[in-house]
Amino acid sequence: MTQRKPPGITWESWTEQKIRKAQEEGEFDGLPGAGKPLPDLDDAYDPLWWVEKLVQREQVSVVPPALQIRRRVEQELETVWALAHEVDVRARVGALNAEIARVNATTTSGPATSVAVLDVELVVQRWHERRRRR
């Protein structure tokens, strides 16, 4: 339990005594980061630095789901065009359609989603056309 500061002693001297005692007992030995420079020390001061760290640490997305699904569709289609087998194309597009349907059904904030599920047959047809052109 934390001790109370005794009366008649200044906060500064009491704190210094606690630090000195901890040093003598080795409580500061082997701390992580010992001897290493402080991270981000040379960066410009940002009053919202803690928000950026929170977003990074918690992997929070600040992009609305409607925009996130558009980006996801673009990325997934690039992956689909590089696949070697039609079965894989159909599986990826099916999984993407399930994700699109989930976002369309559950998005309640931000802009409305305008991404419709993909026509699997049309995507497969375009995949075949791209493979023939190679």
Summarised one tens digit per residue, pLDDT across range 63-83 is 888 888 999 999 999 999 999
Q: What is the mean pLDDT of residues 5-22?
A: 92
Domain of residue 97: give its range. Answer: 65-133
Q: What is the dihedral of CA 95, 97, 99, 100, to 10 degrees?
A: 160
Asked whether residue 31 is assigned to any structural domain, the reply reads: no
Is 44 a domain residue? no
> Band of the pLDDT at 13, cuts 50, 70, 90?
very high
Closest CA to 91 of 83, 103, 101: 83
Whether the pTM exceeds 0.75: the reply is no
Q: Is residue 124 part of a domain?
A: yes
**Tokens 């789901």 identify what position?**
65
Answer yes or no: is 79 within a domain.
yes
Residues 6+ apart with CB under 8 A from 80: 89, 92, 93, 123, 127
What are the start-end ranges of the E strands in 1-134? none
Residue 121 counted as domain residue: yes
Overall domain count for the chain: 1
